Each structure stands twice: as structure tokens, then as C-alpha cells.
């Protein structure tokens, strides 16, 4: 996984992590937030590397599904970008973003 993808999944995990099972959350958090390898995670959870990979893929799929339906990460990024604009533009941009939702 690239650094950009790692950051994005970290953000998605912050937003939607509570919607994953505890085990899925712990495994993907270990991979994304703690930069652990599949072997390290497998050793910590006493499971195979294949089981770790399956859990990671399932968690990533679920995070992507949550985002495609709820779009909270997209909203957060849009609002962050709008706040970077000057005051008048910022207010108008935020109104526009909220109207789109």
C-alpha cells in the first residue's frame, strides 16, 4: 500500500473505525497506524498471514463502502480546503459544500 493510501485508510479508520468489528479494527489499525508487517500482525493475533490479509482486505472494503455511502471523508476534505480560502470565499465555499450534501 502506498503512503497516500495508508494516510487515506488512516483517516477512514478514524471516521468509520467504530463500524468495523473489534478484530478488523485492531488488525487494520496495526497495519495502518503502527506500520506493522503482515507477519508481525499474524504473530500478535496468533493467526496466519493469509488470515491477516483477508481481514485487511475485508476492513478496507468495508471502509470504502462506508465512505461511498456516507461521504464523510469527502466532506471533511472539502471543508478543510474551503477553510484555507480567505474569509468571504471560505463562507461561500462552505455554503456550497453543505448545499451539495
* Every domain of the chain and the residues it spans: 1-70, 71-101
What is the per-residue pLDDT across 35-65, written as a single tens digit (0 to 9) for each? Answer: 999 999 999 999 999 999 999 999 999 999 9
Cα 91 versus chain centre, distance: 27
3-class secondary structure, 48:
coil
Cell for 71? 461521504
CATH class, domain 1-70, is mainly alpha
What's the pLDDT score for residue 97? 72
Place of cell 506500520: 35
What's the pLDDT score for residue 92? 74
pLDDT at 89 over 70: no
What is the per-residue pLDDT across 7-29, written as a single tens digit (0 to 9) for each? Answer: 899 999 999 999 999 999 999 99
Confidence of residue 81 (pLDDT cuts 50, 70, 90): confident
Amino acid at each position: 500500500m502506498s503512503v497516500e493510501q495508508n494516510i487515506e485508510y488512516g483517516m477512514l479508520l478514524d471516521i468509520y473505525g467504530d463500524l468495523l468489528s473489534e478484530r478488523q479494527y485492531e488488525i487494520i489499525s496495526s497495519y495502518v497506524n503502527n506500520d506493522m508487517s503482515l507477519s508481525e500482525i499474524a504473530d500478535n493475533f496468533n493467526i496466519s498471514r493469509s488470515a491477516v490479509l483477508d481481514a485487511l482486505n475485508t476492513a478496507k472494503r468495508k471502509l470504502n463502502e462506508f465512505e461511498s455511502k456516507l461521504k464523510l471523508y469527502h466532506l471533511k476534505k472539502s471543508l478543510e480546503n474551503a477553510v484555507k480560502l480567505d474569509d468571504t470565499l471560505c463562507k461561500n465555499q462552505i455554503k456550497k459544500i453543505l448545499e451539495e450534501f
